[in-house]
Structure 1
Amino acid sequence: MARYDISSIECGALGAVDTGIVYFQLGLSYATGRSVPLDRVSAHKWFNLAARAGVAGAAGLRRELAAEMTPDEIALAQRAAREHLGLH
């Protein structure tokens, strides 16, 4: 079996990754506890980033989730989203 060094392959050859969709999928995973622990703060963070990337439906799911969260949890999720943007 051949081994490839991913860092040496141009990203264009692999196809573009839509980070908004990835963020949306992460939000769904954390909101439902699918493959990860159920975590509303993390779900809100990822839906927030997906909505910022223009993914349809992300803002609505973020709003539904926020209705079940405390103001402190929402603030924590928003802070985490800002930190993520600062790093990436």
Structure 2
Amino acid sequence: MLEMTPVAADVIRRLVEGESPSAGLRLDFADGDLRVTRADGPEEGDEVVTGRFGERVFVAPGSADYLDDKVLDARTDRDGTPVFGVSRR
């Protein structure tokens, strides 16, 4: 199952702060690109990963196998925009 670093968890919490309790980020890995979007909740078939403090990540069904042994991390670019990436555990 996908894991997330404490930094990624913190960024996710900040991104969905003030939204519904079911909100989180949706990950979809397709064509070699990781797409990260804010979501109000999981779509049908999504794998739901919940962090220590309730942060939620929804993994698209076609991406679950690829992301299964990965760790989600985050950083901010020069403009303060969050940038997410995955690496092997």
TM-score of the pair, normalised by structure 2: 0.29
Task: Looking at secondary structure, tell me which structure has more helix per residue.
Answer: 1
| More relative contact order, 1 or 2 (CA 8 Å, 6+ apart) | 2
TM-score of the pair, normalised by structure 1: 0.30
